[in-house]
Amino acid sequence: MQTPERLIPSLFTCIQEGYDLKTFRQDIIAGLTVAIVALPLAMAMAVASGASPDKGLVTAVVAGFFISFLGGTRVQIGGPTGAFVVVIFDVIARYGFDGLIVASVMAGILLIVAGYARLGKLIKYIPYPVITGFTTGIAVIIASSQVKDFLGLTFTDVPAEFIEKWMAYFKHLDETSIYALGLGLLGFAIIAISKKVSAKIPAYLVSIVAVSLIAFLFSLPVDTIGSRFPQMPNGLPMPTLPSLTLDEIRNLIPSAFTIAFLAGIEALLSAVVADSMTGYKHSLNQELIGQGVANIASGFFGGLPATGAIARTATNIKSGGKTPISGIFHALFLLVFLYTIMDILAYIPMAGLSAVLFMVAWGMSDIKHFVQISKISPSDRTILFLTFSLTVFVDLTVAIGVGVTFASLLFMRHMSKSIEIRPHMRLSEYDANDGENSKEVEIPEGVNVFQINGPLFFGVANELCDRLKGLDILPRILILRMRFMPYLDASGEASIEEIVKICKEHHSYIIFAAMRQQPRDLLKKAGITPDTTDAAFVQDFPTAIKLAQKLMDDPDFVRRHQDI
């Protein structure tokens, strides 16, 4: 029996293993490096989500601290990410920022429950085409939302729908500001060049500082954080609890599930990247608990939903981070920034933040894998484009639900095609090198053998009955060879129960051969046992053949099992 996973935060594990001064110095340096990288990203994510930049910093401080303090990954860096932009924007537009706080807290509770219920592994079963489809769709939406600021357009009522938004952009294209466009292109170029020169350069920060200095020194007439958000507070706000009606809270449940789902997916992807870079193994269930507490705390402090950030986690590792202490210092350094440099941050041009978000969107888009999946198979391509299209043109929640459902249905369809229910007249690929059979088996007259190759589940359960009903004459003995049937569900059990009923009505005898433990236990619970059914259960197929031959040689048996 497998031992349940121990739910212990990685921080405590690292301390128990021993923590020295050298590791402490490495964690501090890595924490400062990641804080510098996270500073512009946190603000940009908040702006893209329809919130003020300080909300992003609050999220990186509060959620980043708890993700490192209670998470199950040694070097995970948490904060606001692009995955949440679409759902956050939608929640704020519908229910205001109070609605977002409630949704974040509810998502946090769901993550904690999932962690303690050890449901973390279920996240691994989300099909890759679904993940790629909606992350690429999110990237397209993020990039689309930044066109207005990148071009310096001045109109205010930006439609939420994708097509209408682009129609509005084209309509107001004559309002393009050459100054904003120039700063955006410069910021974009600085990021791209910095990343090519060296991965150690904080490209986003260098870009933001450069375009801000140019805009300030030349007094360029462009929109800035200060002009867009004139009342940005300094420091960490006091925890608050919003007041919403029961109906509003009920309406937020789908959004809470979406936030929890995205947090789990992003945390898993980031943890896998961290494991591959460090050689350590994460605890996904403990990570979900840490993510849950982080989202609850972020909500109470007026922050945004958060999860593990892949790029920031990778930066932490490359900067020498060894333990969750580096993530805690990352949050503490950002807290210092929040109290000391908010007035300076007000000079950042919105076009500069747009350039950062364009690069974030490009990194999220995963174009290489998008193209690769689209070439693999028609079913994967269908799931990919369906999820992508629904994400961009309809709704993220709908995209995830439909994508996963459609992928599951296609998988079951493929599985049902791979299941083989056939009369045993020749050896199949399942019999090759099988100790039970090395040559053709002679089937006694009056005996039929059905061999089930694969799991008997609801996708193929009816076929077993159809095969039996399709026989011109029911045999006196029916052998169900189940050696190659690893799994049986309720629908499969119902089909076997129907076969037992049909055989009883026609005086046919059933022999269950080589049944595995899971199907045997399920049939026992359903009341199909040797004591309750006119049937035999034998350990292997040769024994079933010998028993069938013995019964057919018994005149009393033949007389009792004649057709009526």
pLDDT in tens, 12-54: 999 999 999 999 999 999 999 999 989 999 999 999 999 999 9
- Coil, strand or helix: which one is 470? coil
Contact between 110 and 295 (Cβ < 8 Å)? no
The DSSP H or E segment spanning 537 is strand 535-538
CA distances from 59 to 118, 307, 331, 463 (A): 26, 10, 9, 54
Contact between 316 and 67 (Cβ < 8 Å)? no
Per-residue pLDDT reduced to its tens digit, 191-248: 999 989 987 788 999 999 999 999 999 999 999 999 999 888 888 998 888 887 888 8
What is the model's pLDDT at position 481?
Answer: 87
Per-residue pLDDT of the chain (564 residues; tens, 9 = 90+): 455 567 899 999 999 999 999 999 999 999 999 999 899 999 999 999 999 999 999 999 999 999 999 999 999 999 999 889 888 999 999 899 999 999 999 999 999 999 999 888 877 778 888 888 988 988 899 899 999 999 999 988 888 789 999 999 999 999 999 999 999 999 999 999 998 998 778 899 999 999 999 999 999 999 999 999 988 888 899 888 888 788 888 999 999 999 998 999 888 888 888 888 888 888 989 999 999 999 999 999 999 999 999 889 988 998 899 999 999 999 999 999 999 999 999 999 999 999 999 998 888 887 888 998 888 888 889 999 999 999 899 877 788 888 888 888 887 777 666 555 555 544 444 454 444 544 556 778 888 888 888 888 777 777 778 777 777 778 888 888 888 888 888 888 888 888 888 888 888 889 999 899 999 899 888 888 877 777 889 988 888 889 988 988 888 888 777 654
Contact between 76 and 39 (Cβ < 8 Å)? no
What is the model's pLDDT at position 435?
Answer: 47
CA distances from 97 to 241, 259, 299, 343, 389 (A): 12, 15, 10, 23, 28
User: Parallel, antiparallel, or unpaired for β 78-79 and 307-308?
Assistant: antiparallel
Instruction: Write down the pTM of the prediction.
Output: 0.77
Q: Which of 364, 474, 294 is nearest to 133 (CA)?
A: 364
Rounded CA separation 487/301 (Å): 48
CA distances from 261 to 59, 105, 121, 389 (A): 18, 14, 13, 19
Q: Which of 428, 497, 495, 511 is nearest to 457 (CA)?
A: 495
Q: Which two tokens stand for residue 428?
A: 């199949």
For residue 445, give the amino acid letter: E
Rounded CA separation 209/347 (Å): 10
What is the model's pLDDT at position 401?
Answer: 83
Q: Residue 117 class from Cβ within 10 Å (0-12 exposed, 13-18 middle, 19+ buried)?
A: exposed
For residue 479, give the amino acid letter: I
CA distances from 20 to 14, 25, 325 (A): 11, 9, 12
What is the model's pLDDT at position 425?
Answer: 46
Q: Which of 177, 194, 83, 170 is nearest to 131 (CA)?
A: 83
